[in-house]
A and B are shown apart, each in its own frame.
Chain A
Protein backbone atom coordinates (compact mmCIF):
# COMPACT_ATOMS: atom_id res chain seq x y z
CA UNK A 1 0.00 0.00 0.00
CA UNK A 2 1.37 3.35 -1.01
CA UNK A 3 1.22 6.28 1.38
CA UNK A 4 -0.17 9.52 -0.05
CA UNK A 5 2.22 12.42 0.10
CA UNK A 6 1.44 15.03 2.70
CA UNK A 7 0.44 18.37 1.18
CA UNK A 8 -0.28 21.24 3.51
CA UNK A 9 -3.80 22.75 3.36
CA UNK A 10 -2.26 26.14 2.55
CA UNK A 11 -0.59 24.65 -0.49
CA UNK A 12 -3.80 22.95 -1.64
CA UNK A 13 -5.77 26.18 -1.38
CA UNK A 14 -3.05 28.23 -3.06
CA UNK A 15 -2.89 25.77 -5.95
CA UNK A 16 -6.65 25.75 -6.37
CA UNK A 17 -6.80 29.55 -6.23
CA UNK A 18 -4.11 29.88 -8.85
CA UNK A 19 -5.87 27.37 -11.08
CA UNK A 20 -9.20 29.17 -10.77
CA UNK A 21 -7.65 32.62 -11.23
CA UNK A 22 -5.99 31.48 -14.43
CA UNK A 23 -9.28 30.09 -15.71
CA UNK A 24 -11.14 33.32 -14.97
CA UNK A 25 -8.50 35.59 -16.48
CA UNK A 26 -8.53 33.66 -19.76
CA UNK A 27 -12.03 35.01 -20.51
CA UNK A 28 -13.21 38.53 -21.30
CA UNK A 29 -14.09 41.03 -18.59
CA UNK A 30 -17.57 42.23 -17.76
CA UNK A 31 -18.52 45.58 -16.27
CA UNK A 32 -21.62 46.74 -14.39
CA UNK A 33 -22.39 50.42 -13.83
CA UNK A 34 -25.11 52.36 -12.06
CA UNK A 35 -26.71 55.20 -14.00
CA UNK A 36 -29.54 57.61 -13.26
CA UNK A 37 -32.26 55.30 -14.55
CA UNK A 38 -30.96 52.00 -13.20
CA UNK A 39 -28.08 49.58 -13.68
CA UNK A 40 -26.37 48.58 -16.93
CA UNK A 41 -24.44 45.32 -17.38
CA UNK A 42 -21.97 44.99 -20.24
CA UNK A 43 -19.68 42.30 -21.58
CA UNK A 44 -17.59 41.78 -24.66
CA UNK A 45 -19.11 38.74 -26.29
CA UNK A 46 -18.10 37.31 -29.64
CA UNK A 47 -20.54 34.40 -29.48
CA UNK A 48 -24.31 34.06 -29.30
CA UNK A 49 -24.07 32.43 -25.86
CA UNK A 50 -25.22 34.87 -23.21
CA UNK A 51 -23.03 36.02 -20.34
CA UNK A 52 -25.66 38.30 -18.85
CA UNK A 53 -29.10 37.11 -17.83
CA UNK A 54 -32.34 38.02 -16.15
CA UNK A 55 -32.87 36.48 -12.74
CA UNK A 56 -36.00 38.22 -11.51
CA UNK A 57 -38.03 41.43 -11.70
CA UNK A 58 -35.23 43.65 -10.38
CA UNK A 59 -32.26 41.27 -10.35
CA UNK A 60 -29.73 40.49 -13.08
CA UNK A 61 -26.70 38.24 -13.41
CA UNK A 62 -23.38 38.53 -15.21
CA UNK A 63 -20.71 35.84 -15.30
CA UNK A 64 -17.17 35.46 -16.58
CA UNK A 65 -14.87 32.45 -16.80
CA UNK A 66 -15.98 29.02 -17.89
CA UNK A 67 -19.31 29.34 -19.69
CA UNK A 68 -20.78 25.96 -18.72
CA UNK A 69 -20.07 26.63 -15.05
CA UNK A 70 -21.44 30.15 -14.73
CA UNK A 71 -24.42 29.39 -16.95
CA UNK A 72 -25.31 26.52 -14.63
CA UNK A 73 -25.08 28.96 -11.71
CA UNK A 74 -27.31 31.41 -13.58
CA UNK A 75 -29.96 28.73 -14.01
CA UNK A 76 -29.72 27.79 -10.33
CA UNK A 77 -30.30 31.46 -9.55
CA UNK A 78 -33.41 31.63 -11.73
CA UNK A 79 -34.80 28.50 -10.06
CA UNK A 80 -34.02 29.89 -6.61
CA UNK A 81 -35.60 33.27 -7.39
CA UNK A 82 -38.74 31.92 -9.06
CA UNK A 83 -39.35 29.45 -6.25
CA UNK A 84 -38.80 32.08 -3.60
CA UNK A 85 -41.06 34.56 -5.38
CA UNK A 86 -43.75 31.88 -5.68
CA UNK A 87 -43.50 30.80 -2.03
CA UNK A 88 -43.39 34.36 -0.64
CA UNK A 89 -43.93 37.47 -2.77
CA UNK A 90 -42.21 38.95 -5.79
CA UNK A 91 -40.77 41.78 -3.70
CA UNK A 92 -39.06 39.29 -1.38
CA UNK A 93 -36.61 38.21 -4.07
CA UNK A 94 -33.49 40.28 -3.39
CA UNK A 95 -29.98 40.33 -4.80
CA UNK A 96 -28.36 39.97 -1.37
CA UNK A 97 -30.04 36.65 -0.60
CA UNK A 98 -29.08 35.31 -4.01
CA UNK A 99 -25.49 36.58 -3.81
CA UNK A 100 -25.15 34.87 -0.42
CA UNK A 101 -26.48 31.64 -1.84
CA UNK A 102 -23.96 31.87 -4.70
CA UNK A 103 -21.18 32.60 -2.25
CA UNK A 104 -22.04 29.49 -0.24
CA UNK A 105 -22.30 27.25 -3.30
CA UNK A 106 -19.10 28.50 -4.93
CA UNK A 107 -17.22 28.46 -1.60
CA UNK A 108 -18.32 24.87 -0.92
CA UNK A 109 -17.15 23.82 -4.36
CA UNK A 110 -13.81 25.54 -3.76
CA UNK A 111 -13.08 23.72 -0.49
CA UNK A 112 -14.68 20.37 -1.22
CA UNK A 113 -14.17 19.66 -4.89
CA UNK A 114 -10.87 18.74 -6.46
CA UNK A 115 -11.44 21.28 -9.23
CA UNK A 116 -12.68 24.71 -8.16
CA UNK A 117 -15.19 26.63 -10.26
CA UNK A 118 -13.46 28.94 -12.73
CA UNK A 119 -16.04 31.70 -12.47
CA UNK A 120 -16.66 35.17 -11.18
CA UNK A 121 -20.15 36.62 -10.91
CA UNK A 122 -22.05 39.85 -10.49
CA UNK A 123 -25.54 39.95 -9.02
CA UNK A 124 -27.11 43.37 -9.54
CA UNK A 125 -30.39 44.78 -8.29
CA UNK A 126 -32.11 47.99 -9.30
CA UNK A 127 -33.81 49.95 -6.52
CA UNK A 128 -37.50 50.76 -6.50
CA UNK A 129 -38.28 54.20 -5.06
CA UNK A 130 -41.89 53.17 -4.44
CA UNK A 131 -40.91 50.32 -2.13
CA UNK A 132 -39.74 51.24 1.36
CA UNK A 133 -36.39 49.61 2.15
CA UNK A 134 -35.77 48.75 -1.52
CA UNK A 135 -34.84 52.21 -2.83
CA UNK A 136 -31.13 51.68 -3.44
CA UNK A 137 -29.36 49.75 -6.17
CA UNK A 138 -27.13 46.88 -5.12
CA UNK A 139 -24.16 45.26 -6.85
CA UNK A 140 -22.52 42.13 -5.43
CA UNK A 141 -19.45 40.40 -6.72
CA UNK A 142 -18.74 36.74 -5.96
CA UNK A 143 -15.33 35.30 -6.82
CA UNK A 144 -14.14 31.72 -7.46
CA UNK A 145 -13.47 30.96 -3.77
CA UNK A 146 -16.87 32.19 -2.68
CA UNK A 147 -15.69 35.59 -1.41
CA UNK A 148 -18.47 38.12 -1.65
CA UNK A 149 -18.20 41.89 -1.76
CA UNK A 150 -20.67 44.67 -2.37
CA UNK A 151 -19.98 47.58 -4.67
CA UNK A 152 -21.30 51.02 -5.32
CA UNK A 153 -21.35 52.86 -8.67
CA UNK A 154 -19.53 50.22 -10.73
CA UNK A 155 -17.98 46.78 -10.57
CA UNK A 156 -15.70 44.81 -12.90
CA UNK A 157 -15.17 41.06 -13.05
CA UNK A 158 -12.74 39.03 -15.13
CA UNK A 159 -9.06 38.99 -15.87
CA UNK A 160 -8.33 42.71 -16.05
CA UNK A 161 -10.55 43.61 -13.08
CA UNK A 162 -7.88 45.30 -10.95
CA UNK A 163 -6.62 47.52 -13.75
CA UNK A 164 -10.14 48.48 -14.85
CA UNK A 165 -11.21 49.19 -11.30
CA UNK A 166 -8.65 51.99 -11.08
CA UNK A 167 -9.67 53.33 -14.48
CA UNK A 168 -13.37 53.44 -13.54
CA UNK A 169 -12.62 55.01 -10.17
CA UNK A 170 -11.06 58.00 -11.90
CA UNK A 171 -13.66 58.31 -14.67
CA UNK A 172 -17.00 57.39 -13.11
CA UNK A 173 -19.52 60.11 -12.21
CA UNK A 174 -22.67 59.81 -10.14
CA UNK A 175 -25.08 61.51 -12.54
CA UNK A 176 -24.38 59.39 -15.62
CA UNK A 177 -27.10 58.86 -18.21
CA UNK A 178 -27.40 55.41 -19.80
CA UNK A 179 -25.33 56.62 -22.77
CA UNK A 180 -22.59 58.02 -20.50
CA UNK A 181 -22.42 54.79 -18.51
CA UNK A 182 -22.30 52.68 -21.65
CA UNK A 183 -19.56 54.79 -23.23
CA UNK A 184 -17.43 54.49 -20.09
CA UNK A 185 -18.15 50.76 -19.90
CA UNK A 186 -17.18 50.42 -23.54
CA UNK A 187 -13.88 52.25 -22.97
CA UNK A 188 -13.17 50.03 -19.96
CA UNK A 189 -13.80 46.87 -21.96
CA UNK A 190 -11.54 48.14 -24.74
CA UNK A 191 -8.78 48.73 -22.19
CA UNK A 192 -9.12 45.10 -21.15
CA UNK A 193 -8.36 43.88 -24.66
CA UNK A 194 -4.67 43.51 -25.31
CA UNK A 195 -3.33 44.18 -28.78
CA UNK A 196 -6.67 45.05 -30.43
CA UNK A 197 -8.15 47.99 -28.59
CA UNK A 198 -11.44 48.06 -30.53
CA UNK A 199 -14.65 46.44 -29.37
CA UNK A 200 -17.34 46.73 -32.06
CA UNK A 201 -20.96 47.36 -30.96
CA UNK A 202 -22.02 44.00 -32.44
CA UNK A 203 -19.59 42.29 -30.07
CA UNK A 204 -21.05 44.01 -27.02
CA UNK A 205 -23.68 42.32 -24.90
CA UNK A 206 -25.58 45.02 -23.02
CA UNK A 207 -28.50 44.50 -20.64
CA UNK A 208 -30.26 47.09 -18.53
CA UNK A 209 -32.24 46.99 -15.30
CA UNK A 210 -34.42 50.01 -15.95
CA UNK A 211 -36.05 51.47 -12.87
CA UNK A 212 -38.98 53.08 -14.72
CA UNK A 213 -40.25 49.81 -16.19
CA UNK A 214 -43.23 48.06 -14.65
CA UNK A 215 -42.74 44.50 -13.40
CA UNK A 216 -39.77 42.89 -15.13
CA UNK A 217 -37.15 45.63 -15.34
CA UNK A 218 -34.55 43.63 -17.22
CA UNK A 219 -34.13 44.04 -20.93
CA UNK A 220 -31.50 43.32 -23.50
CA UNK A 221 -30.39 46.07 -25.88
CA UNK A 222 -30.28 45.33 -29.60
CA UNK A 223 -27.06 46.02 -31.49
CA UNK A 224 -28.73 49.03 -33.14
CA UNK A 225 -29.65 50.52 -29.77
CA UNK A 226 -26.13 49.87 -28.48
CA UNK A 227 -24.70 51.65 -31.50
CA UNK A 228 -27.02 54.64 -31.01
CA UNK A 229 -26.22 54.93 -27.31
CA UNK A 230 -22.48 54.72 -27.87
CA UNK A 231 -22.69 57.37 -30.60
CA UNK A 232 -24.35 59.64 -28.00
Chain B
Protein backbone atom coordinates (compact mmCIF):
# COMPACT_ATOMS: atom_id res chain seq x y z
CA UNK B 1 0.00 0.00 0.00
CA UNK B 2 1.45 3.35 -1.08
CA UNK B 3 2.00 5.91 1.70
CA UNK B 4 0.96 9.44 0.85
CA UNK B 5 -0.68 10.66 -2.33
CA UNK B 6 -2.08 13.76 -3.95
CA UNK B 7 -5.53 13.76 -2.35
CA UNK B 8 -5.89 16.06 0.64
CA UNK B 9 -9.58 16.01 1.58
CA UNK B 10 -11.83 14.14 4.01
CA UNK B 11 -13.65 11.72 1.70
CA UNK B 12 -12.58 8.11 1.38
CA UNK B 13 -14.58 7.68 -1.83
CA UNK B 14 -12.73 10.63 -3.42
CA UNK B 15 -9.43 9.34 -2.05
CA UNK B 16 -9.98 6.05 -3.89
CA UNK B 17 -10.95 7.85 -7.10
CA UNK B 18 -7.99 10.19 -6.92
CA UNK B 19 -5.10 8.10 -5.61
CA UNK B 20 -6.15 4.45 -5.78
CA UNK B 21 -8.25 4.32 -8.94
CA UNK B 22 -7.66 0.58 -9.25
CA UNK B 23 -9.46 -0.06 -5.98
CA UNK B 24 -12.58 1.93 -6.76
CA UNK B 25 -15.44 -0.23 -8.07
CA UNK B 26 -15.68 0.38 -11.81
CA UNK B 27 -18.21 -1.50 -13.89
CA UNK B 28 -17.60 0.33 -17.15
CA UNK B 29 -15.96 -2.80 -18.61
CA UNK B 30 -19.27 -4.62 -18.87
CA UNK B 31 -20.25 -5.12 -22.49
CA UNK B 32 -23.58 -3.94 -23.89
CA UNK B 33 -24.72 -7.51 -24.38
CA UNK B 34 -24.10 -8.50 -20.77
CA UNK B 35 -27.25 -9.72 -19.05
CA UNK B 36 -27.40 -8.25 -15.51
CA UNK B 37 -29.94 -10.94 -14.54
CA UNK B 38 -26.95 -13.29 -14.41
CA UNK B 39 -25.72 -11.47 -11.32
CA UNK B 40 -27.24 -11.93 -7.87
CA UNK B 41 -29.92 -9.38 -7.00
CA UNK B 42 -31.18 -8.45 -3.58
CA UNK B 43 -34.93 -8.31 -3.28
CA UNK B 44 -36.94 -6.64 -0.50
CA UNK B 45 -35.83 -4.15 2.15
CA UNK B 46 -37.86 -1.70 4.20
CA UNK B 47 -37.45 1.05 6.76
CA UNK B 48 -39.94 2.94 8.88
CA UNK B 49 -40.16 5.19 11.89
CA UNK B 50 -41.43 4.12 15.27
CA UNK B 51 -41.62 5.66 18.72
CA UNK B 52 -37.93 5.44 19.66
CA UNK B 53 -36.31 5.89 16.24
CA UNK B 54 -36.27 3.85 13.04
CA UNK B 55 -36.47 0.18 12.13
CA UNK B 56 -34.65 -1.23 9.09
CA UNK B 57 -35.30 -4.75 7.84
CA UNK B 58 -34.60 -6.96 4.85
CA UNK B 59 -35.21 -10.50 3.72
CA UNK B 60 -32.27 -12.83 3.00
CA UNK B 61 -32.79 -14.01 -0.55
CA UNK B 62 -30.72 -13.11 -3.60
CA UNK B 63 -31.81 -14.18 -7.07
CA UNK B 64 -30.14 -14.59 -10.46
CA UNK B 65 -33.04 -14.25 -12.87
CA UNK B 66 -35.40 -17.02 -11.78
CA UNK B 67 -32.78 -18.91 -9.78
CA UNK B 68 -31.88 -18.60 -6.15
CA UNK B 69 -28.38 -17.12 -5.87
CA UNK B 70 -28.18 -17.11 -2.08
CA UNK B 71 -30.67 -17.85 0.68
CA UNK B 72 -28.93 -16.00 3.48
CA UNK B 73 -27.38 -12.87 2.01
CA UNK B 74 -27.31 -9.76 4.24
CA UNK B 75 -28.84 -6.57 2.91
CA UNK B 76 -28.95 -4.40 6.03
CA UNK B 77 -25.64 -2.82 6.99
CA UNK B 78 -24.83 -0.56 9.92
CA UNK B 79 -22.82 2.33 8.45
CA UNK B 80 -21.85 3.78 11.84
CA UNK B 81 -23.12 3.76 15.40
CA UNK B 82 -26.36 5.60 14.53
CA UNK B 83 -27.08 4.94 10.86
CA UNK B 84 -27.91 2.02 8.59
CA UNK B 85 -28.14 1.30 4.94
CA UNK B 86 -30.36 -1.32 3.30
CA UNK B 87 -29.70 -2.37 -0.26
CA UNK B 88 -31.74 -3.77 -3.12
CA UNK B 89 -30.70 -4.34 -6.70
CA UNK B 90 -27.43 -5.77 -8.07
CA UNK B 91 -25.93 -7.33 -4.94
CA UNK B 92 -22.21 -7.04 -5.84
CA UNK B 93 -22.11 -3.28 -6.46
CA UNK B 94 -24.64 -2.67 -3.67
CA UNK B 95 -22.69 -4.52 -0.97
CA UNK B 96 -19.51 -2.77 -2.09
CA UNK B 97 -21.28 0.57 -1.86
CA UNK B 98 -22.37 -0.23 1.70
CA UNK B 99 -18.78 -1.16 2.60
CA UNK B 100 -17.39 2.06 1.17
CA UNK B 101 -20.15 4.07 2.84
CA UNK B 102 -19.21 2.67 6.23
CA UNK B 103 -15.53 3.48 5.68
CA UNK B 104 -16.49 6.89 4.30
CA UNK B 105 -18.31 7.91 7.49
CA UNK B 106 -15.55 6.60 9.75
CA UNK B 107 -12.85 8.19 7.57
CA UNK B 108 -14.51 11.59 7.70
CA UNK B 109 -14.86 11.36 11.47
CA UNK B 110 -11.18 10.45 11.91
CA UNK B 111 -9.82 13.08 9.53
CA UNK B 112 -12.05 15.92 10.72
CA UNK B 113 -12.28 14.94 14.38
CA UNK B 114 -16.08 14.96 14.43
CA UNK B 115 -18.81 12.93 12.72
CA UNK B 116 -21.03 14.13 9.89
CA UNK B 117 -24.58 15.22 10.59
CA UNK B 118 -27.22 12.69 9.50
CA UNK B 119 -28.16 14.97 6.57
CA UNK B 120 -24.52 15.03 5.52
CA UNK B 121 -24.37 11.25 5.56
CA UNK B 122 -27.50 10.93 3.42
CA UNK B 123 -26.10 13.50 0.99
CA UNK B 124 -22.83 11.59 0.72
CA UNK B 125 -24.68 8.37 -0.10
CA UNK B 126 -26.62 10.23 -2.75
CA UNK B 127 -23.32 11.18 -4.44
CA UNK B 128 -22.18 7.56 -4.35
CA UNK B 129 -25.42 6.35 -5.94
CA UNK B 130 -25.01 9.03 -8.62
CA UNK B 131 -21.44 7.91 -9.28
CA UNK B 132 -22.86 4.46 -9.99
CA UNK B 133 -25.11 5.86 -12.75
CA UNK B 134 -23.03 4.53 -15.68
CA UNK B 135 -23.31 1.02 -14.24
CA UNK B 136 -27.01 1.55 -13.53
CA UNK B 137 -27.53 2.40 -17.22
CA UNK B 138 -26.11 -1.03 -18.02
CA UNK B 139 -28.55 -2.68 -15.66
CA UNK B 140 -26.52 -2.74 -12.44
CA UNK B 141 -29.02 -0.69 -10.52
CA UNK B 142 -28.32 0.05 -6.84
CA UNK B 143 -31.18 1.64 -4.92
CA UNK B 144 -30.44 1.87 -1.20
CA UNK B 145 -32.49 3.01 1.74
CA UNK B 146 -30.69 5.07 4.35
CA UNK B 147 -31.96 5.50 7.88
CA UNK B 148 -30.59 6.68 11.16
CA UNK B 149 -31.17 8.38 14.45
CA UNK B 150 -30.57 12.11 14.29
CA UNK B 151 -29.10 12.81 17.73
CA UNK B 152 -29.35 16.56 17.20
CA UNK B 153 -33.08 16.49 16.39
CA UNK B 154 -33.72 13.49 18.67
CA UNK B 155 -35.68 11.54 16.05
CA UNK B 156 -35.36 8.72 13.56
CA UNK B 157 -35.18 9.69 9.87
CA UNK B 158 -35.09 7.78 6.59
CA UNK B 159 -34.39 8.41 2.94
CA UNK B 160 -34.89 6.63 -0.35
CA UNK B 161 -32.83 7.19 -3.49
CA UNK B 162 -33.23 6.84 -7.22
CA UNK B 163 -30.54 5.80 -9.72
CA UNK B 164 -29.58 9.39 -10.48
CA UNK B 165 -28.74 9.98 -6.83
CA UNK B 166 -32.08 11.68 -6.18
CA UNK B 167 -32.64 11.73 -2.45
CA UNK B 168 -36.09 11.78 -0.88
CA UNK B 169 -36.71 11.96 2.82
CA UNK B 170 -39.73 9.92 3.85
CA UNK B 171 -42.02 10.87 6.72
CA UNK B 172 -43.25 7.39 7.69
CA UNK B 173 -42.05 4.30 5.81
CA UNK B 174 -40.42 3.16 2.60
CA UNK B 175 -39.69 -0.15 0.97
CA UNK B 176 -37.75 -1.03 -2.16
CA UNK B 177 -36.72 -4.05 -4.20
CA UNK B 178 -38.82 -6.56 -6.13
CA UNK B 179 -41.24 -7.11 -3.23
CA UNK B 180 -41.11 -3.50 -2.10
CA UNK B 181 -44.55 -2.67 -3.46
CA UNK B 182 -46.22 -5.43 -1.42
CA UNK B 183 -44.25 -4.57 1.70
CA UNK B 184 -45.32 -0.92 1.32
CA UNK B 185 -48.97 -1.96 0.93
CA UNK B 186 -48.65 -3.94 4.14
CA UNK B 187 -46.89 -1.14 6.03
CA UNK B 188 -49.50 1.36 4.86
CA UNK B 189 -52.07 -0.49 7.00
CA UNK B 190 -49.95 -1.46 9.97
CA UNK B 191 -47.32 1.22 10.51
CA UNK B 192 -47.57 4.40 12.56
CA UNK B 193 -44.79 6.63 13.88
CA UNK B 194 -45.74 6.16 17.52
CA UNK B 195 -45.68 2.34 17.55
CA UNK B 196 -43.85 0.55 20.33
CA UNK B 197 -40.80 -1.60 19.67
CA UNK B 198 -42.88 -4.81 19.85
CA UNK B 199 -45.56 -3.48 17.51
CA UNK B 200 -43.00 -2.28 15.00
CA UNK B 201 -41.21 -5.63 14.97
CA UNK B 202 -44.55 -7.31 14.29
CA UNK B 203 -45.27 -4.81 11.53
CA UNK B 204 -41.89 -5.40 9.87
CA UNK B 205 -42.17 -9.19 9.92
CA UNK B 206 -45.74 -8.94 8.67
CA UNK B 207 -44.65 -6.72 5.76
CA UNK B 208 -41.80 -9.04 4.75
CA UNK B 209 -44.10 -12.06 5.02
CA UNK B 210 -46.68 -10.34 2.83
CA UNK B 211 -43.98 -9.44 0.31
CA UNK B 212 -42.66 -13.00 0.17
CA UNK B 213 -46.21 -14.26 -0.28
CA UNK B 214 -46.78 -12.16 -3.40
CA UNK B 215 -43.25 -11.85 -4.79
CA UNK B 216 -41.47 -15.11 -5.58
CA UNK B 217 -38.08 -13.43 -5.31
CA UNK B 218 -38.56 -12.36 -1.70
CA UNK B 219 -37.39 -14.82 0.91
CA UNK B 220 -39.49 -14.20 4.00
CA UNK B 221 -38.92 -16.63 6.87
CA UNK B 222 -37.39 -20.04 6.13
CA UNK B 223 -38.20 -22.07 9.26
CA UNK B 224 -36.85 -25.31 7.84
CA UNK B 225 -33.38 -23.88 7.21
CA UNK B 226 -33.59 -21.49 10.13
CA UNK B 227 -33.07 -18.38 7.97
CA UNK B 228 -34.75 -15.24 9.27
CA UNK B 229 -34.99 -11.68 7.98
CA UNK B 230 -32.61 -9.14 9.47
CA UNK B 231 -34.37 -6.55 11.61
CA UNK B 232 -32.42 -3.69 13.19
CA UNK B 233 -33.62 -0.93 15.49
CA UNK B 234 -31.77 2.36 15.53
CA UNK B 235 -32.35 4.65 18.50
CA UNK B 236 -30.53 7.21 20.60
CA UNK B 237 -28.67 4.30 22.20
CA UNK B 238 -27.37 3.00 18.87
CA UNK B 239 -28.14 0.01 16.67
CA UNK B 240 -29.68 -3.17 17.98
CA UNK B 241 -30.15 -6.23 15.78
CA UNK B 242 -33.11 -8.41 16.73
CA UNK B 243 -32.18 -12.01 17.48
CA UNK B 244 -33.36 -14.79 15.14
CA UNK B 245 -35.31 -16.34 18.03
CA UNK B 246 -37.31 -13.13 18.52
CA UNK B 247 -38.02 -12.82 14.79
CA UNK B 248 -39.12 -16.47 14.75
CA UNK B 249 -41.57 -16.02 17.62
CA UNK B 250 -43.06 -12.89 16.04
CA UNK B 251 -43.33 -14.73 12.74
CA UNK B 252 -45.36 -17.49 14.44
CA UNK B 253 -47.83 -14.94 15.75
CA UNK B 254 -48.00 -13.28 12.29
CA UNK B 255 -48.91 -16.50 10.49
CA UNK B 256 -51.19 -17.63 13.29
CA UNK B 257 -49.57 -20.08 15.62
CA UNK B 258 -48.84 -22.89 13.12
CA UNK B 259 -45.95 -23.83 10.81
Contacts and interface: CB of A to CB of B under 8 A. Distances in A.
A76 interface: yes
Contacts of A97: 1
Nearest to A102: B3
Interface stretch (B34-42, B102-110, B172-180): B102-110
Interface string A79-106: 1101111110000000001000100110
Contact of B15 (A79, A101, A104, A216): A79
A76 B103 contact: no
Contacts, number: 50
Nearest to A104: B3
Contacts of A76: 3-4
Given A50-B113, A87-B23, A82 B4 contact: no
Interface residues of A, number: 20
B133 interface: no
Given A54-B110, A87-B23, A79 B103 contact: no
Contacts of B4: 76, 80, 105
Given A80-B1, A105-B4, A86 B111 contact: no
A80 B103 contact: no
B5 interface: yes
B3 A82 contact: no
A101 B19 CA distance: 17
Given A75-B111, A104-B3, A83 B15 contact: yes
Given A79-B15, A82-B12, 19 more contacts: A53-B110, A53-B113, A55-B110, A75-B8, A75-B111, A76-B3, A78-B107, A79-B5, A79-B7, A80-B1, A83-B12, A83-B16, A83-B20, A83-B23, A85-B103, A86-B12, A86-B100, A87-B23, A101-B3
Interface of A: 50, 53-55, 75-76, 78-80, 82-87, 97, 101, 104-105, 216
9 contacts: A75-B8, A78-B111, A80-B1, A82-B12, A83-B16, A84-B1, A85-B103, A86-B23, A105-B4
